Amino acid sequence: MKLTSKSVALIPIIATVATAVVGATLISPPVANAATTLSAAAQQSGRYFGTAVAANKLGDSTYVGILNREFDMVTAENEMKMDATEPNQNQFSYGNADRIVNHARNQGKRVRGHALAWHSQQPGWMQNMSGTALRNAMLNHVTQVATYYRGKIYAWDVVNEAFADGSSGGRRDSNLQRTGNDWIEAAFRAARAADPGAKLCYNDYNTDDWSHAKTQAVYRMVQDFKSRGVPIDCVGLQSHFNPQSPVPSNYQTTLQNFANLGVDVQITELDIEGSGSSQAQNYQRVTQACLAVARCTGITVWGIRDTDSWRASGTPLLFDGSGNKKAAYNSTLDALNAGGGPGPTTTTTTTTTTTSNGPGPGGCTATVSLNQWNEGFVATIKVTAGSSALSGWTVTTTLSNATVTGSWSANRSGNSGTVNWTNVDYNAAVPAGGSTEFGFQGSGNGSGLNPSCAAR
């Protein structure tokens, strides 16, 4: 039977009460001239607000009306998972996934890809494999699907739910894990090679409480990946909450600690069981926590109406079964409009073109997207090859009134003034016309970076 909901039951989180405070508990009053939709309100701080979408509901006019009006990021609920996209080995099927992707793009929305590698919802042929054959099949799946959607996906959940619940702090036992402990790293490297422009995320549930062993285990993996140049750009917290697994009091701390590793943080599958003011306050807390963390780039709720949810009996979403806005919708919208904390409130883009790399038409260009707030910034720099492929590159930036506090996907010399950035092993080769990205976080004012690129 094909699953139409998340296949893993939530494990209750202990020692946290349902009324745990993350930010203020009072719902903020509406802001004058405030945005009137979730996506517009989120965009005011440079974030997105998305939802999970099922292809078989795209014929429902109420469903589609809310989707088109309220959300600017789309995740396929099941249609991009392994069993849906490769039902038979090396025979790929993208029809339902394409319906969702095309609808989103036609409406000017971005897409989160979910998910390339997972121990669950594997097609039958893969479930019966093991060892090297399974490893190669998994990597082929990652490569083929990410290549097919190359350039159309904002971020991929490359690996989903690979850590065990409980106090062990270890990996989940699965057929993929038994191919070798480096299988997650291998999947991320394959995804980067197949779609270098997409952000690559690790996604999991019950990683919301900073004190829990599972959260710490995921944190250590991301820390290790960043230290060794394994391509990872973001961490997804599913954030499925109910009275047995409530919003933890240290939720914002968890978001911030992951962000401090130099990755984006995304709330990827949010739903909160309950009703009325209690549910509304919990949605507000989660929203405010994201707004308070500069690298929390967006929120996705796992469904549109309560009746669309995999947890429908818990009425966990922002719209009721008839499509009416709930109190939780209003509290979320008000929180987004009110803002909060040092979010990425402004974005500027500077483009600098370099000379060619010796004789001929080679060379590269560098562009920077800057998210600046009062006391700091995050800079993402895209390196684009000219008419010849690159085998290595150097980018020079100028930090006149700023200091680098962390970086990823590049080596650097210095922390202020003139800083040179060079490729790491996995992003040295850039095909003609192709691009790769690196980034850094800093304190102070990041304007005037004026990046220049040189092939080497």
Q: What is the pLDDT of residue 33?
A: 66
Handedness of CA 180, 182, 188, 191 (dihedral sign): negative
CA distance 342 to 346: 11
Contacts of 91 (CB under 8 A, 6+ apart): none
Handedness of CA 142, 148, 150, 156 (dihedral sign): negative
Q: What is the pLDDT of residue 226?
A: 94
Contacts of 17 (CB under 8 A, 6+ apart): 246
Q: What is the pLDDT of residue 444?
A: 84
Q: What is the pLDDT of residue 361?
A: 43
403 beta partners: 443
Residues assigned a catalytic role: 269
319 beta partners: 305, 325
Q: Whose CA is closest to 393, among 360, 359, 424, 434?
A: 424
Stretches where the chain sits below pLDDT 50 are: 1-28, 341-361
Residues 407-451 pLDDT 10s: 667 889 988 999 999 997 767 888 888 888 787 877 888 889 999
Q: What is the pLDDT of residue 357?
A: 32
**Would you state the torsion angle of the CA atoms of residues 310, 313, 317, 323, taken in this order, to the nearest 10 degrees?**
100
Q: What is the pLDDT of residue 360?
A: 33
Residues 21-46 pLDDT 10s: 343 334 445 555 689 999 999 999 99
Q: Whose CA is closest to 327, among 338, 315, 337, 339?
A: 315
Q: Whose CA is closest to 448, among 416, 412, 421?
A: 416
